Chains A and B, each alone.
Chain A
Amino acid sequence: MTSALFIEQLLNGLQFGVMLFLMAAGLTLVFGVMGLINLAHGALYMVGAFACATVANFTGSFWLGLAASIVAAATAGAIVELVVIRRLYKRDHLDQVLATFALILIFSEGTRWVFGSFPLYLNVPDLLSGPVMLPGGIQYSLYRLAIIVIGGLVALGLYFLIAKTRLGIRIRAGESDREMIAALGVDIRLLYTIVFALGAALAGFAGALVGAIQSVQVGMGEPVLILAFVVIVIGGIGSIKGALVGAILVGIVDTMGRFLLPMFFQLFMENAQANSVGSALASMSIYILMALVLIFKPKGLFPAHG
């Protein structure tokens, strides 16, 4: 094993983590501020990818597609909040899970109805296509590098939004005491719609970015949704910082597990068996991580409410 390979895998883990962060940030905001479990977050991710693929194929510009993904997912999020989610805040979590699960089915079937069952074509923009040489002789996909940078910028932007703006103050206030902030004259219903649309926009943006290197198809959001839940449980529910740390932790543990575990078992096992045991254990690694974190920090690494 060379150090170049090791660094490349670390970058892969970081890139995966950054992607998960975009998903988890919206999920954790919605959960933290509104106390809502939103299973339909993955559906918004899919909406973003489909919007991007459609607009990119129609106009020939990936960048317009990317903009469209944010607009489409935010719009879909706002509509869903106004029509369905709004009625769920006072209900218990089981009702929320049921209603948002129904939304997954509606979004999936709706998308299939409009676009058909075959995956759509969406490719990396020319500007970011191909590999790039990093110092130390490491060849790395430029697009993945760009995802890491974009993810970092989004994290910074979110930090400023939450910590430095009036909207951020209201969001934080809504997290700690929603009756009090309503009593102070803040339109809490509007705030909820904005937060939900913001979370949806982040999910849609992530879907579009990932769609270019994966397959844009119905049901693409659900596997990511599960990982995003793992991330927010590890990071502490409601905390953006927790989501960032949790996402990068999950990304790196998953990638390095897939890479190192089979090699580890090869030290004392026959090759084929080691591969099979190693890859089986690798797919469990993040859940083991989650279990460990919950044992030592039952509220996650950075719980929002102390």
Chain B
Amino acid sequence: MSKLDILKASLVGLSLCVATTATAEPVKVGMITTLSGGGSGLGIDVRDGFMLAVKQAGNKDLTVVIEDDARKPGLAVQIADKMIQSEKVDILTGIIWSNLAMAVVPGAVAQGKFYISPNAGPSQLAGKGCHPNYFNASFQNDNLPEGMGAYANKIGIKNSFIMAPNYPAGKDVLNGYKRFYKGKLAAEVYTKLGQTDYAAEIAQIRASGADSIFVFLPGGMGISFMKQYAQSGVNIPVTGPAFSFDQGILKAVGPSAVGVKNTSHWAKDLDFPANKPFVTSFEAEYGRLPSLYAVQGFDTANLILSAMSKASVKDMDAFRTALKAADFASPRGKLKFGNNQHLIQTIYVREVIKEGDIYTNKTEGIALENHQDAYAAQCKM
């Protein structure tokens, strides 16, 4: 028996060994997310949603290490390397921003780690760059704006002013809107990522003669824009994907956002069995209402937990199949993955309302039912 044969035999033995202890295999998850600086509210919601699910499951085989990327791509790559090489994590997750995801995900999945996105769905990773180890439990960036585009046709919008920050997700979002929206464009404006003053853009909106504005400005950018827009005296209706009108920022925007129509894959009042318990338990645990980011974190954790109960993470094929089944009840209903391992999900229209003292969203209707992203066909899986 040559040395190679011995090696082969022992490998086979080892894998048998692993197979028999499938469900008790410990899983280590590395979470890289934005916990400081601008946009930290998003990362904190993802983390809190994730940890709520972990706490509720009480599964001792799951350990989570969390690190802050401060929204810096370079730092995120460093943390990912450290987590893969010295922490030896099995699964990576947590990244909020598409530019960071593009810096980390391709390398991580190529090194044989699973990556499950709790936010950020850049088009590159949904189409040609799809990968068997990459799952997206949130949305593809184009999804929500596609819903808004479809809804804009329905309510008779004919001349839209569209605006987003100049980074991968910004472009995806405007492309998504344009894919479904059939009217004219008054203008298409890209702003600097992290910009805080929108006076110049608001002046352009005023002069544009548009009948509606479609904005994608996540986090603090949306707060600044909405407050300044309310002060400007321009009263063209604002629409957008839910990111600029979600729970985390509505408190800071205040009355300026009331009445804004936005599209989302989740709302607090959706009638699914797992939704109400999630909302109440999140509120009880953290003393605030959950945002869509919190839902995505919660679902990511439950997705991992559901796969852990079926397969060992060391057996990548079985674990992948188990992930793909997404066998758990989400606050968004039953989740279903498409061929590119992105979700096929319903996009809802919501309206910002004031409920008692709290600003929140109320579901208005459905924009697109069981919607799949536009890049799935380009993915060879």
Contacts and interface: CB of A to CB of B under 8 A. Distances in A.
B14 interface: no
B35 interface: yes
Interface in A195-241: 210, 212-220, 223
A255 B40 CA distance: 27
B252 interface: yes
B37 A212 contact: no
Nearest to A108: B36
B252 A8 contact: no
B227 A118 contact: no
A31 B253 CA distance: 36
Interface stretch (B136-144, B189-197, B363-371): B189-197
Contacts of B35: 117
Interface stretch (A59-67, A139-147, A165-173, A288-296): A139-147
Interface string B16-41: 00000000000000000001111011
A83 B273 CA distance: 57
Contacts of B40: 112, 117, 218-219
Interface stretch (B200-208, B277-285, B310-318): B200-208
A118 B41 contact: yes
Interface string B174-193: 00000000000000111110
A218 B220 CA distance: 10
B228 A213 contact: yes
A258 interface: yes
B223 interface: yes
Interface string A96-133: 00000000000011001000011111011000011100
A144 B44 contact: no
Interface string A1-18: 110110011001001100
Given A12-B199, A255-B199, A259-B200, A215 B220 contact: yes
B290 interface: no
Task: Say whether chain A's binding surface is mostly helix, strand, loop, or mixed.
Answer: helix
Given A118-B248, A214-B197, A279-B191, A129 B231 contact: yes
A279 B237 CA distance: 25
B254 interface: yes
B166 interface: yes
Interface in A139-179: 139, 141-144
Given A119-B41, A216-B252, A131 B197 contact: no
Nearest to B71: A219
Nearest to A118: B41
B252 A131 contact: no
Nearest to B38: A219
A237 B260 CA distance: 46
A208 to B, nearest CB: 14
A231 to B, nearest CB: 15
Contacts of B255: 123
A74 to B, nearest CB: 24
B231 A280 contact: no
Interface string B200-232: 110110110000000000001101100110011
Interface stretch (A21-29, A35-43, A184-192, A270-278): A270-278
A144 B190 contact: no
B41 A215 contact: no
A131 B232 CA distance: 5
Contacts of A210: 196
Interface string B253-266: 11110000000000
A4 B194 CA distance: 28
A99 to B, nearest CB: 20
Contacts of B192: 279, 282-283
A5 B231 contact: no
Contacts of B206: 5, 8, 139
Contacts of A2: 207
A8 B203 contact: yes
B204 A213 contact: no
Contacts of B249: 118-119, 215
Nearest to B255: A123
Interface in A234-269: 255, 258-259, 262
B199 A119 contact: no
A4 B207 contact: yes
A213 B227 contact: yes
B233 interface: yes
B233 A123 contact: no
Contacts of B166: 276, 279-280, 283
Contact of A12 (B44, B203, B224): B203
Nearest to B247: A118
A119 B220 contact: yes
Nearest to B192: A283
A275 B190 CA distance: 7
Given A219-B36, A272-B188, A279-B190, A117 B204 contact: no
A279 B195 CA distance: 12
B251 interface: yes
A195 to B, nearest CB: 28
Given A255-B200, A279-B166, A217 B231 contact: no
A138 B231 CA distance: 14
A9 B203 contact: yes
A119 B252 contact: yes
A8 B199 CA distance: 9
Given A112-B36, A139-B206, A280-B166, A275 B189 contact: yes
Name which of B44, B203, B223, B228 has the most chain A CB atoms within 10 A of its CB. Answer: B203
24 contacts: A8-B206, A12-B199, A15-B199, A108-B36, A109-B36, A118-B41, A118-B249, A123-B255, A124-B231, A139-B206, A139-B233, A141-B232, A214-B223, A215-B249, A217-B252, A219-B37, A223-B194, A223-B196, A262-B189, A271-B188, A279-B166, A279-B189, A280-B166, A282-B192
Given A214-B223, A258-B200, A275-B190, 8 more contacts: A5-B203, A9-B203, A117-B36, A117-B44, A118-B252, A119-B41, A119-B249, A214-B197
Interface of A: 1-2, 4-5, 8-9, 12, 15-16, 108-109, 112, 117-121, 123-124, 129-131, 139, 141-144, 210, 212-220, 223, 255, 258-259, 262, 271-272, 275-276, 279-280, 282-283
